Amino acid sequence: MRTAFTSSAELLELVAADGRPLPEWMVAREAFMTGRDEAAIRDEIARRLTITRTALARGFKEPQRSLSGLTDGAAARLHALAEPPVRDELWNRALAYAVAINEVSACGGRIVAFPTAGSSGIVPGLLWAWRDEREGDLSATSPRLQDAVAVAGAVGAVIAARATLSGAAGGCQAECGAAAAMGAGALAWLSSGDPSRVFNAAALSLKNSLGLACDPVAGLVEVPCVKRNAFLAGNALVALTLDSAGILSAVPFDEVVSAMKAIGDMMSPQLKESAEGGLAMTPTGLRVKAAMEAGFPDAPRS
Amino acid sequence: MSAPALFDVIGPVMIGPSSSHTAGVARICFLARKAFGERPEKARVTFHGSLAATWRGHGSDKAAFAGLLGLHPEDERLSFARELAAREGLVVDIVADKEGGAHLHPNTLRVELEAGGRKLSISGCSIGGGAVRVENVNGFPASISGELDAVLVRHRDRPGVIAGVTGILAEAGVNIATAASRRNQKGDEALLVVELDGVPPGSALAEIRALPEVLAAVHLPSVVS
């Protein structure tokens, strides 16, 4: 089996030549690359999906509070909002779910790096919101939900091949930006089953997060990361909406990813996870840093 | 670069908040504990670079305690590993070396373990997304990712030792993915690292330990579930 690709164009050619749908081909590729059978790959996808659902439930049930106090149960408040100003349940769930999962990550809970810990709420938040709002019969063991994960993985794999999925190497465009593109692609698959729409939705989403800095306060994966999971889940839903209307990205996905790489290379190291620029260097950011260096003397102790 | 595998993009399963500062540290300390083979009486973990600056906020200390307790990097008990260690009487000295280590990878840590006069020192770095590389074992350069099961063999630098080890693994039907041997100087002590495509049976480990010129052999399990 030919498993190597460095662009979505190449990937889609391989998939077309093979004849199986994109996610099935991705699962077969994983089985081939790791010497396991396809059922084992699907079981592992199901296990990872279940871990994200457990984190999601925990984020609502046990409002998360971090040692720094920067994470303080925002998901639970978001979920309890009685009259959300935007009245769409898919939208509202996606935002709350993304934050819930990422708050659990920020507070030392068990999550799946999706593709990283700092962006771990976006894709599963979108998938579970879709499930709860649109297809309530789906579960972690449903091939359809597993397919959506495989499609998200295909989008992420192209970004990793042409650019990076590391904030230290490419800024937050490579973490939350990449996650949103993955999520937009996964939802485009669920709503259309069309692989070209996957990469159109991903291109639309990624274009809108190019240049995003990774400037976390005190180097902690909390500010702006946790709330950004909600914003970028929203970004993915906007991309999905545009794609559903047949609006095409003028710049194709592979070129957008190359642009992301070029921008990442141009970005100062101060804006790439070093906590030496941007929000990290604001008076507030520096205060949190000083508190951390003193061992968070004001933090509640368990 | 060609596109990575699916579970390299969607994964690892880990304990938050940071793949490089929590998951990576848990993995390196887990590998150190497995390489040591028993619970240390004394342990010291030194964080360099970016780890030295942010270890408190990222729970890197808890990750270190968890790894040294032998908890798998996916184990949720990581979040109260300090308390578990206290209950088990495991004392770990956490040192943040902010000044030194400028020449090292920004996420480097050094783990020193001691029990009954035996000592182990391991250095490794967390290279992103939870991936790690153990770069030094007791002064011997190495390159261990922890992705695969591995066998570490400390031996005297004499003809036939490596052939003996690989022969036993072949007999056991375990494929060798990578192999590297380093020695201090000719005829002196050497370290053989063999990464495998499967779990080596305990009987193979026992046979390797019984080989002439072999001083010690341990199985390093994969950190990936």
Residues of chain A positioned with their CB less than 8 A from the CB of B47: none
Model confidence at A301: pLDDT above 60? no
The first and second tokens of residue A80, run together, are: 């309890």
Q: A147 vs A52, A152, A187, B62, CA distance in Å?
A: 16, 9, 11, 35
Give residue-wise pLDDT tens across range A165-178: 988 889 999 999 99
Compute the nearest-CA separation of B133 from chain A (Å).
Answer: 17
- Residues 151 through 170 of chain A touching chain B, CB cutoff 8 Å: 152-153, 156-158, 160-161, 165-166, 168-169
Provide CB contacts within 8 A for A287, sequence distance 6+: none
* Contact yes or no for A219 and B15 at CB 8 A: no
Higher pLDDT, A20 or B52: A20
Give residue-wise pLDDT tens across range A252-279: 999 999 999 999 999 999 999 888 999 9
- The single residue listed with the structure tokens 């153990």 is B134
Exposure class string for A251-270: b at 16+ Cβ within 10 A, else e: eebbebbebbbebbeebeee
**Counting one residue from A and one from B, how many pairs have CB atoms under 8 Å apart?**
149
Residues of chain A positioned with their CB less than 8 A from the CB of B15: 108-111
User: What pLDDT sits at residue B1?
Assistant: 81
Give residue-wise pLDDT tens across range B92-140: 999 999 877 777 887 899 999 999 999 999 999 998 778 899 999 999 9
Q: How far apart are CA B174 and CA B164, in angstroms?
A: 14
pTM for the predicted model, two decimal places = 0.92
B126 touches chain A (CB under 8 A): no
Q: Considering only the beta carbons, identify the residue of B10, B62, B78 that sits closest to A149.
A: B10
Contact yes or no for A189/A242 (Cβ under 8 A) = no
B6 touches chain A (CB under 8 A): yes
Chosen for mutation from A116, A175, A214, A298 (greatest number of chain B CBs closer than 10 Å) is: A116
ipTM for the predicted complex comes to 0.96
Q: How far apart are CA A239 and CA A236, in angstroms?
A: 5
* Contact yes or no for A109 and B76 at CB 8 A: yes
- Residues 125 through 154 of chain A touching chain B, CB cutoff 8 Å: 149-150, 152-153
* Contact yes or no for B16 and A105 at CB 8 A: yes
* Contact yes or no for B12 and A113 at CB 8 A: yes
* Contact yes or no for A30 and B5 at CB 8 A: yes
- The single residue listed with the structure tokens 């950011």 is A285
Give residue-wise pLDDT tens across range A110-132: 999 999 999 999 999 999 999 99
Chosen for mutation from A112, A286, A289 (greatest number of chain B CBs closer than 10 Å) is: A112
Exposure class string for A227-242: b at 16+ Cβ within 10 A, else e: bbbbbbbbbbbbbbeb
Q: A101 vs A106, B27, B87, CA distance in Å?
A: 9, 22, 31
Half-sphere exposure of B191 (CA within 13 A, CB side): 18
User: What pLDDT sits at residue B20?
Assistant: 85
Provide CB contacts within 8 A for A285, sequence distance 6+: A217, A218, A223, A275, A279
- Residues 253 through 272 of chain A touching chain B, CB cutoff 8 Å: none
**How far from the centroid of its chain's Cα atoms is residue A136's Cα?**
22
* Contact yes or no for B17 and A108 at CB 8 A: yes
Strands B118-128 and B176-183: unpaired
* Contact yes or no for B3 and A161 at CB 8 A: yes
In order along its 225 residues, chain B shows pLDDT tens digits of 899 999 999 999 999 999 889 999 999 999 999 999 999 999 999 999 888 888 888 899 999 999 999 999 999 999 899 999 999 999 999 999 987 777 788 789 999 999 999 999 999 999 877 889 999 999 999 999 999 999 999 999 999 999 999 999 999 999 999 999 999 888 899 999 999 999 999 999 999 999 999 999 999 999 986
B113 touches chain A (CB under 8 A): no
